[in-house]
Amino acid sequence: QVEVVESGGGLVQPGGSLRLSCAASGSLLSIPGMGWYRQAPGKQRELVARISSSSTSYSDSVKGRFTISRDNAKRTAYLQMKNLEPEDTAVYYCKVDVWVLPNTYGEYWGQGTQVTVSS
């Protein structure tokens, strides 16, 4: 069984910063990829940033403001968000792509963490 837990959301003023964390646990062999998605009210869930063992990618809307990183020893991914805008308000979800015992590939989602940007 794999568990994914996000943390770090909250209320922040426009121009402020937040750092989200995503921790994966369970019978994991490896984590090829970790990604952050977000879903605003009335909108579809969208990819914000993704990190593999060798590369990162970002949506155009957050490029230059958000930075994704990972700590493999802690099985944790981070999303550093700067210069936040009201349009960044959404529930942020973490998805991990994993190889689990005995030798199965799977995708697992966290429960989400709310980010609200408002004055």
Kindly indicate the confidence band of residue 10, based on its pLDDT and cuts at 50, 70 and 90: very high
Mean of pLDDT values over 29-56: 96
pLDDT at 27 over 90: no
From CA 20, how far away is CA 68, in angstroms rounded?
9
pLDDT at 17 over 90: yes
pLDDT at 20 over 90: yes
pLDDT in tens, 94-114: 999 999 877 899 999 999 999
Q: What pLDDT is stored for residue 116 in this prediction?
A: 98
Q: What pLDDT is stored for residue 86 in this prediction?
A: 97
Q: What pLDDT is stored for residue 66 in this prediction?
A: 98
Question: How high is the mean pLDDT of the chain?
Answer: 96
pLDDT in tens, 46-75: 999 999 988 999 999 999 999 999 999 999
